[in-house]
Amino acid sequence: MMVLVELEVIESHIGWLTINRSDAANSLSHNVLNQLAQRLDEIDESNIRVLVITGSGSKAFCAGADLKERSGMTDEEVVRTVKKIGDTISKIEQLSIPTIAMINGAAYGGGLELALACDIRTMSKDAKCGLTETSLAIIPGAGGTQRLPRLIGPGKAKEMIFTAKPVTAQEAFAIHLVESIFTTEELAEQTLHMARTISKNGPEALKMAKTAINHGCEVDLRTGLEFERQCYKHTIPTSDRIEGIQAFKEKRKPEFKGK
């Protein structure tokens, strides 16, 4: 079977996941979704501390659903396929480790929905992204109507979804859809630099910080603060916390083990 989703481990703790289907704009066929779900399970069981997700080539990050594959489906099959895309994207969101979507080219429909499920987004200055589904008489069905407004606000999200008009990298940065934009030449290097910076920090602390932020965004402040307290308490008995204090005293870099 052709490897459509590649996972490389860089410097022991950085996962680099690539959708390897550039001849079809890295679109999400059934086989891609199956392999993506398998790789995510492998990541869950690994010692990877931060994950970068990108697409092969330079033209597309991910163009969303494979419309050629979909053209021969019944209505029921289409509904099941969209659910499969949504479930797979949710697996990305549910990873306990920090995730970075490196948008190296066009990210449309399900491709942008995949990026929205990541914690951080970097983007090539030459790329565009958008939720273009209403131009096909459908709506985003893999989380776009829910994650986009939470990220950029309902008004701007409605504008993007109602018009089906893609935005440039500069526009995406201005509306806080992406956190950083770089030249095409700098994108991979700068994204890897960010991943390295993250991976050097306490693994359990990163997981607890992600959990506290994600949970807190969905509840009132008082409940969120209590949840933060519980996540903080989780880090106290770890050996990494002791190592962090000891390294600070000894003026050296800590060597965290994720324990």
Find out whether 34 and 69 touch, Cβ atoms under 8 Å.
no
Closest CA to 178 of 232, 233, 234, 107: 107
> Which residues carry out catalysis?
65, 110, 113, 133
Find out whether 60 and 22 touch, Cβ atoms under 8 Å.
yes
Q: Strand locations in the chain, DSSP E? A: 5-10, 14-19, 50-55, 60-62, 99-103, 106-108, 120-124, 128-130, 167-168, 180-182
Going across the sheet that includes 167-168, the strands are 60-62, 106-108, 128-130, 167-168
Q: Which two tokens stand for residue 215?
A: 């949970």
Backbone angles phi, psi at 13, to 5 degrees: -125, 0
* 3-state class percentages of the chain: helix first, strand second, coil last, to nearest 5: 50, 15, 30
